[in-house]
Structure 1
Amino acid sequence: MKKILVTAVLMFTALHAQNIYATFDVEAEKAAELSLTSSGTIEGINIDVGSRVKKGDILLWLDNDDMKEAVELAKAQLELARVDAKFAQRNFERYEKVKNVIDAGEYDRYASAYETAKSRLHEAQVNVRYKQALLEKTILRAPFDGVVSDKPVEVGDVVSGAMIKVLLRLQSAKANTLKLKVDQKYWTKLKPGQTFRYRVDGETGQREGKVSIVYPTANNANRKIIVEVPAKGIVPGLFGEGEIEAD
């Protein structure tokens, strides 16, 4: 009786289990084409193809000496505005204490001077932020941790903000994604969480992953559905094949 039961279970499993064949391409989890909106000549590049960078690292910058001087001038003007505002504040506070025993016009003059000083201080602060923002636009920073995959420019190349040009390409270094192409006839059998066993071209060993996303539409051109499987330690651009274990 036990043998019959085991046989029945195996037959049931065989009838209801199905391996779905799929090919895939390896893509970086994050990939970006980096550019600048400012115009100028590239003055320095800190990286090369294959360089690993951290979010916020300076990758390259334009000749921006004039903008640096503008920032320093704006900071100097801000410091003067702070001194004037503090002086005007002290005068105003002194006269405010005795405003009931002094001429109203004189009090109003110091109050007005204080308001003007505060306004100029605010304008100076805004100007510093504006100049710093212009300077920052001449500097290309890494938007996330990753590896530089392409560097089509060199020091001395001219960048035009009016014609956006790709300066660098960056992709995530650790986490990648397998983009599976599955025949659309299996669309009712695909779901997140299914196991995908696969081999990457050039490898002999088998890898394993879990389906994370099943795209809700099929490609009209090739009648394929895209399925994503997270992966690590695989070079983007490679391809392979495998099978999804589906019930």
Structure 2
Amino acid sequence: MNYIKQLNAAFEKFFFDDRLNPTHISLYMALFQEWNSSRFADEFFVNRRELMRVAKIGSKSTYHRCIVELDKWDYLFYYPSKNPYKGSKIKMALIETSDEPDMGQYNPKLEQLAERYHPIREPVVYQHHPTNGQAVYPHRPVSGQALVSNINNTKQVNINKQPKDRQAVLYFFKEKGFSADEGKKFYEHYQERDWKTSDEKEVRDWRGLAINWMDRTELLDEKNKQNKKGASQNRDNLRTTKIKDYGQPL
């Protein structure tokens, strides 16, 4: 998988696609980073809450509209999950350009776009040319091809598959706006199962699992509110304030 080739092709497609707005591009770049972090796997799972945070999308409806449209317009393949404990699956489409640029030719505009949306995070160190003393940027070879650092291309291995203790879980739930009781339920649920999922696989990221738990809790709370509202309306319909006098003659 050629990182720069794929990203350049995506930017070229953005330029000619008038259907896109900034939210589409922001979401695509967030998904591209997740794809990069999974080492460009054929398919990978995503968490809606985390994607919305990275892409700076504040509305669930906006998120779902944009990801469905990106699927419709052949930027990716979106497989929504019906399991509240399992994220949706994404397969990124390989984009090809009609006029493929020469990868040995330095293109400053494309490099600026790449650095804007996915900057290299290592410090810039200038070296002196061994013959003429001219400062040389080490990430741009003599041939002119721009190189991309692989420092942030992969996520660090998650060594905290399980929480340190229950207090860490309670703090995490409180940070996300949930009660300590809900955090306690989550901790005890998976502690009893030795931190394994329903398919007997070890938990890879307890924080991601906790976020899925929170999403499911919100859905259940909303459903319970709707049920209570419907039951209250039914009770009101059965009540009557009109007093009938059956003693009056017909």
TM-score bracket for the superposition, by shorter chain length: under 0.3
- Quick one: higher RCO (CA 8 Å, sep 6+), 1 or 2? 1
Give the TM-score of the pair, scaled to structure 2: 0.20
Q: Which has the higher helix share?
A: 2
Give the TM-score of the pair, scaled to structure 1: 0.20
Greater Rg over alpha carbons, structure: 1
Q: Which has the higher strand share?
A: 1
